[in-house]
Structures are given as C-alpha cells and as structure tokens.
Amino acid sequence: MTISEAESAIMECLWQGAPRTAEDILAEVAPRQGWQEGTVKSLLNRLLKKKAIKAERDGRRYLYTPLLSREKYVSQESKGLLDRLFGGRVAPLVAHFSEQRKLSKKDIAELRRLLEELDDEH
Amino acid sequence: MTISEAESAIMECLWQGAPRTAEDILAEVAPRQGWQEGTVKSLLNRLLKKKAIKAERDGRRYLYTPLLSREKYVSQESKGLLDRLFGGRVAPLVAHFSEQRKLSKKDIAELRRLLEELDDEH
DNA sequence: AAAAAAGGTTTACACACGTAAACAATATGG
DNA sequence: CCATATTGTTTACGTGTGTAAACCTTTTTT
C-alpha cells in the first residue's frame, strides 16, 4: 500500500516525534498545509487503514505512532524514482543534477567527503 | 499538468524515437505492460489533452511526437522527490543510498569522475 | 456492395486522493 | 442535569488514474 503525498505530511509530523495526539498533529500540520480539521482526521484514518501508523488509546483520546519508518518510506520512494528514470543507478541521477547546475557548493563538498569515506571503508 | 506513471510509459516510448504511429507504440508498449489496445489509445488521448504530445495527420493515421522533453520531465520528478524527502539537496540523497549500500562500484567510479570534472570547470 | 479491418473518438467504471462536512460518543462546565 | 466542547467515525464529492469497451469513419477485402 502506498502513502500519498497528503498522507506523507502527517507521517513527517509523526516521524519528527511520536507518539502524538491528533490535536498535536492538527496544530502542527494543518496551518502549514492550509487544512481543516476534517482533513487531518481523514488522513489519520486512511493511514490507520493502511497500517502505516497505529493508535493506542490514552484516556479519551488516541496516541498515534508510525509503523512505517521514514527510512523505509524514503527508500521506497527513492528507489522508485531511480528505477523509473535512471535505470536504477545513482550516478546518472547526480549527473542529471550536475548538468542542470543544481549541485550547490555544499553538495559538492559533501559528495567529496562521502566518496572519501567510502575509500576508507576500503 | 502532471504525467501519470502509465502515461509515462508511452512517453518513454516516444522519447526513444519520434514521431511514431499508434500502431508502433502499441506494439512496443502494450506487451511489456500487459495492456490492451484500448488502454494505449486512452493514454495517447490523455497525453494529447495534457499537451504532452502532439499528433500530425499522415494520411489516414497520426504521427505522435512528444512536446514535453524527457529532460524536463526528469527534472520535475527528481526535484519533487528531492524537495519532499531530502530538503532539496542532492548530497543527502546520495548519502541515503550510500547508507543502504546501494552504490555500485560503477556508481562510485562515475561519481568520482563527475566530481573531478566539476573541479576542472574550476 | 457487403463485410471486415484499421484507426481514431467517446464513454465507462472502479478505485485512490484531496478535501471536508455530518454525525456520534463522551467528558466537562455551569 | 443540560449545554457545550472535544475527539473520533462515517459519509461525501469532485477529480485523476488504470484499464478498457463501444462506437464511428474510412479503407480494404471478398
């Protein structure tokens, strides 16, 4: 089952810190996204149905916790894109951004460091 | 307007070589995707409506040509993912794959070459 | 000429998504 | 106790998507 973009906004909030109450999530996410209360409620329910989060009762309310990890989600999404557009390989993706001049100084520095690390690991 | 995943299969075919007839596209794409004729026809029409392709009459049939370039499409998609998941920066994405041990020897070699090139450009 | 094939155009239908209101149950303040 | 607020559950509705059949014209075949 897939997490939609709207749903992922809720997930981001939960990944940032869980468990959280619906109230918290609402306060955090709704203004930024321009959503009404009902929207957040619906998304929480869809996420529950998809087993991407769980809810434990805490008195009269629920505490929501992610079941799907951000790592896993990011992996899925990234792999999907890579496979669809770059033959499943990372270098062509970086080359693409390089061609588009979308590599910042910082990116370049970090990539250098990364490659060095990979060296060290032997 | 966005190109859906199914639609992008048609686009890939056209990016590979255009213009093409519907027949060509059908022969190329349908078996691979397990699609019926009607499916391909529908997708062509949706792409026309979205102005992602154009059709010029050639006798009794049409020749289809992309209007949206692969470059542009790839850029949009990649930027979307990067923004949503990696704060819009490339290095964290590469780091992610690195952590997951998803960098092949070839990737690493290519990334090295790329970074050297960037050096040379000064 | 009637039938069939080829090719394009329209319509269909179920399901996901974005968005949200309506409703229900329960707790709380007056 | 009753009205109100809180919180969760159900229902809704327009649009996009995946998938495809139905239909209409124009050629080709028999």
CATH top-level class for A5-66? mainly alpha
Strand D contacted by B69 CB (< 7 A)? no
Residue in B with minimal Cα distance to A77: B81
The yes-or-no verdict on residue A41 having pLDDT over 70 is yes
Strand C contacted by B61 CB (< 7 A)? yes
Local confidence band at B105 (pLDDT 50, 70, 90 cut-offs): very high
Evaluate whether A11 touches A73 at the Cβ level (below 8 Å): yes
List the one residue out of A14, A105, A78 whose CA is nearest residue B99: A78
- Interface residue ranges in chain B relative to chain A, Cβ cutoff 8 Å: 5, 8, 74-75, 77-79, 81, 84-85, 89-98, 100, 102-104, 106-108, 110-112, 114-115, 118
Query: Tens digits of per-residue pLDDT, B22-67?
Result: 999 999 999 999 999 999 999 999 999 999 999 999 999 999 999 9
Which CATH number does B70-120 carry?
1.10.4040
Supply A28's token pair: 């955090």
Query: Tens digits of per-residue pLDDT, A46-95?
Result: 999 999 999 999 988 999 999 999 999 999 999 999 999 999 999 999 99
* Helix (H/G/I), strand (E/B), else coil: B46: helix
Per DSSP, A21 falls in state: -
B93 vs A120, B35, B96, B117, CA distance in Å? 20, 34, 5, 20
- ipTM, 2 decimals? 0.89
**Residue ranges of domains in chain B:** 5-66, 70-120
**Cα distance between residue A63 and residue A24, in whole Å:** 10
Matching fold, domains B5-66 and B70-120: no
Of B77, B96, B108, the CB nearest to A85: B77
